[in-house]
Amino acid sequence: MTLWFLFALMTAAAIFAALWPLGRRDPSRGGSDVAVYRDQLEEIERDRAAGQIGDAEAEAARVEVSRRLLAAADAGAVEPAAAAAGRRRAAALIALIVLPLCAAGLYLSLGSPELPGQPLAARMQESRENQSIQSLVAQVEAHLERNPQDGRGWEVLAPVYLKLGRFDDAAKARRNALAYGGETVERQSDLGEALAAANNGIVTAEAKRAFERAVALDATHPKARFFLGLAAEQDGQREQAAAIWRAMLANAAADAPWVNFVRQALARVEGEGGPSAQDVAAAAQMSDQQRNEMVQGMVQRLAERLRQDGSDIEGWLRLMRAYMVLGERDKARAAASDARRALAADPDKLRMIDDAAKGLGIEG
């Protein structure tokens, strides 16, 4: 509160300093103007008599000064100095008192005085960075419009698109980098990553083919192997996903930057809701009907868990895909509806559900 009081005093002082001259009496202003113009007329006459100016110049000067003299005399007659000074003081008083009060009232009702301040340097730096990135992107895009077969240009632009959240553009850039720059394990893997990002983390068939091609080029490539494990998990093949990630960890260097990420994924598939090694071994001895019943039981357990805790977006996506694999389209559509209700407060997760439903052909 003390801070706002100081701001009010500073504002009042600034307005007072600016408007103080308006409140000062100046009764002699009109008279002094008239005296000045009369002195100018006498000076013109002296200059003409001394031969310093000609008669024509003297006459023109006398006309101009006389016009100004008449205007000053008329102004003094229309508005006496005392009345004008009174009005100026009234205007100054209104500006000094009323304007700050109005401004304070408007700010308190419409503004946000409780918000913390934002340092100017930080705001300017952020603005410069955003402008710089957008400007660079625009320059590269203009270059690629003129040179669409510049594979290196597409490769430079693709990660920037990913950073900006322009996933469809990133996927297009990755395709062009691969087409015009030649095939490498990194370009195939990067293409798969961009395609998955464009589909809210779902490894589509096209993305999976890119990762499989990357692994064919280099069987140890970590990004491609991780996403193939993710694809297996999303297809309901949790043990296969776990096997891929276990193999990655078994052969990983101790300081590999992706180790913790893979460990988290492995813990997820080995946790509640996934088949154990014993389940898989037992399934091999089952008839088709028994295996189907086992799968139905797993799907039912997943559905029950989601009814108790509907915040698991990955669980909802798995449930929708599982129902489609089982040929139960109506249940998949119902699961999408249940997911929307459970995730109604999270727009990003709702968008993932909607995109997945669209991809599965169960919109609505």
Q: What is the pLDDT of residues 117-172, one digit of tens each?
A: 555 455 445 555 555 777 888 888 888 899 999 999 999 899 989 888 889 999 99
* Closest to 163 (Cα-Cα) out of 196, 133, 131: 133
- The predicted pLDDT at position 226 comes to 94
**Short-list 181, 183, 263, CA closest to 222:** 263
106-127 pLDDT per residue, tens: 555 555 455 555 554 554 455 5
Please give the Cα distance from 243 to 253 (Å, whole number). 18
Measured between alpha carbons, how far is 49 from 224 in angstroms, rounded to an integer? 104
Q: Let me know how long the chain is.
A: 364
CATH topology of domain 292-360: 1.25.40
Q: What is the mean pLDDT of residues 235-254?
A: 88
Do residues 186 and 159 make contact, with C-beta atoms less than 8 angstroms apart? Answer: no
Closest of 141, 136, 148 to residue 179, by C-alpha:
148
User: The pTM is what?
Assistant: 0.44
Confidence grade of residue 233 (pLDDT, cut at 50, 70, 90): confident
Of residues 8 and 45, the one with the higher pLDDT is: 45
